[in-house]
Amino acid sequence: MSKLAANIAAEISRQRPITFARFMELALYHPEHGYYSTPAVKIGRGGDFYTAPTVSPLFGAMIARQLEEMWRLTGSPESWSIVEFGPGTGKLAGDIMNAIIKDYPDFNQAVAYNLVEISSGLKEQQQQKLAGHEAASRFKWPGSFSEINPTGFNGCVLANELVDAFPVHLVEQSNDGLGELVVTLTKKNDFRLQLADPSTEIINVYFNMQGVKLATGQRAEVNLYAAAWLAEVTQYLNRGFVMLIDYGTEARDLYGPHRFNGTVRCFYQHQLIEDPLLNVGKQDITAHVNFTALAIQGQQAGLQPLGLISQPQFLLNLGILDTVSEHNNYTYNPNILKKTAAIKQLVLPGGMGDIFKVQIFSRNMEPPPQLTGITGANKPMPQID
| Angle, CA 22 vertex, CA 118 and CA 261 arms, to 5° | 110
More confident residue, 380 or 383: 380
Alpha-carbon gap, residue 164 to 282, rounded angstroms: 17
pLDDT for 151: 94
pLDDT for 332: 53
Percent of the chain with pLDDT over 90: 73
Report residue 51's pLDDT band, with 50, 70 and 90 as the boundaries: low
CATH architecture of the domain covering 52-164+222-374: 3-Layer(aba) Sandwich (3.40)
Report residue 36's pLDDT band, with 50, 70 and 90 as the boundaries: confident
Report residue 385's pLDDT band, with 50, 70 and 90 as the boundaries: very low
SS3 per residue for 97-142: HHHHHHHCHHHHHHEEEEEECCCHHHHHHHHHHHCCCCCHHHEECC
Alpha-carbon gap, residue 159 to 144, rounded angstroms: 15
Q: Which residues contact 292 (CB under 8 A, 6 or more apart)?
A: 210, 250, 251, 252, 254, 381
Length of the chain: 385
Rg (CA), the chain: 21
- Residue ranges of the domains in the chain? 52-164+222-374
pLDDT for 178: 96
Q: What is the per-residue pLDDT across 78-94, written as a single tens digit (0 to 9) for each?
A: 999 999 999 988 999 99
Enclosing H/E stretch for 347: helix 334-347
